[in-house]
Amino acid sequence: MIYRSKAPLRLGLAGGGTDVSPYADLYGGAILNATIGMYAYATIKPLSGKKIHIKAIDRNEEIVLTAEKKLPINGKLDLAKGVYNRVVKDFVKKPFAFELTTYVDAPPGSGLGSSSTLVVAILGAFVEWFKLPLGEYDIAHLAYRIEREDLLMQGGRQDQYAATFGGVNYMEFYTNDKVIVNPLRVKDKWLHELENNLILFFTETSRLSSEIIKKQSENVKKKNTKSIDAMHSLKEQSVKMKESLLKGDIDGIGKILHDSWQHKSAMAEGISNPELEKIYNAALKAGATGGKISGAGGGGFMIFYAPYNNKFKVIEALNKLGGRVMRYNFAQHGLTTWTI
């Protein structure tokens, strides 16, 4: 038997950063995101014997380990090892041999939630193999705990839930890791218009999101008024974005993105930089009405809203800046698993 899974990456449209502790615990966070047709994939092939093979095709990394109840966390394909360790600890209770192959359509540090989405995909493959009794909320929460508690990785909570649920969601985050996912019933024509006008641009750079998120968290702990007020404003933008999508005010999204750009830069040092500002201003000059950095900031992907037919001029301007405009489509389904 072969057990496969795939989970979609996401575009954070509004509220990004308010899902990060301690802000979400103190004030409650809110985010609006949408999954796209770029994925993290995982394939598991059970093996006889006592060996574990882990292959990350996109990273050109491979390790072979002896199957034990707990694999060492040492910087080498730790996401996969972290999922295995938790599956053994909570469910299987003994080591087992297998070959795990993974691939992600976007590079790490790109701002599309690739690391968390990969954890969800790997966990989904194990759920398929062992028929684990986990629903969508269970899988997303467990993936979050693996990253934040077991692997001690900095980050928020939206990525695991977006990858698991899929579609367009308004998410609310509260203390004690409570999360409510509200799927939005956006009319098809509004989604088509948003997909048509929203440009996804890869800056050809990546960044260590954990450092930016750490600064953001420290600003909240230190009660930095400027940073906290910026997060309050971003949370308000997620509500406005939800209303625009549901009411069909798609062109109003450009202004919401522009407002979010200004507030997000105030959350922590390193979110924006002169190169990103140059890209942003070039897009506005060419006809975009707003945009944002996807994810924690500092590099990776950016998105821009260009109404009417302005996207062609914006794409032309962006292509001169050394990055790549990426084709994409919205994906309505979240984590998918199957057996061959």
Q: pLDDT tens digit string along 100-148?
A: 999 999 887 777 889 999 999 999 999 999 999 999 999 999 999 999 9
Positions marked catalytic: 159
Res. 262 pLDDT band, cuts 50 70 90 = confident
Domain identity same for 20 and 54: yes
Angle of the 253-264 helix axis to the 225-247 helix axis, nearest 10:
170
Residue 89 near residue 149, CB atoms below 8 Å: no
User: Which CATH number is 239's domain given?
Assistant: 3.30.70.890
Q: What is the pTM of this model?
A: 0.93
Over residues 58-72, the pLDDT tens digits come to 999 999 999 999 999
The letter for the amino acid at 199 is I
What range defines the domain where residue 114 resides?
A: 3-185
pLDDT at 272 over 90: no
Of the three residues 170, 185, 200, the one that is the final residue of a domain is 185
Over residues 203-232, the pLDDT tens digits come to 876 655 566 677 777 878 888 888 888 889
Residue 214 near residue 148, CB atoms below 8 Å: no
**Mean pLDDT of all residues in the chain?**
91
Domain identity same for 148 and 206: no
Predicted local confidence at residue 338, as pLDDT: 98
The bridge status of strand 324-326 relative to strand 290-293 is unpaired
Does residue 247 lie in a domain region?
A: yes
Predicted local confidence at residue 214, as pLDDT: 72
297 to 91, 205, 254, 271: CA distances (angstroms): 36, 11, 19, 4
Does residue 142 lie in a domain region?
A: yes
pLDDT at 312 over 90: yes
Look at the chain and report how many structural domains it folds into: 2
Domain identity same for 68 and 171: yes
Domain identity same for 234 and 276: yes
Domain identity same for 267 and 177: no
The bridge status of strand 98-104 relative to strand 51-56 is parallel
Span 74-81, average pLDDT: 96
Domain identity same for 173 and 215: no
Does residue 123 lie in a domain region?
A: yes
Using CA atoms, how far apart are residues 63 and 41, in angstroms rounded to an integer? 18
Over residues 20-61, the pLDDT tens digits come to 888 999 999 999 999 999 999 999 999 999 999 999 999 999
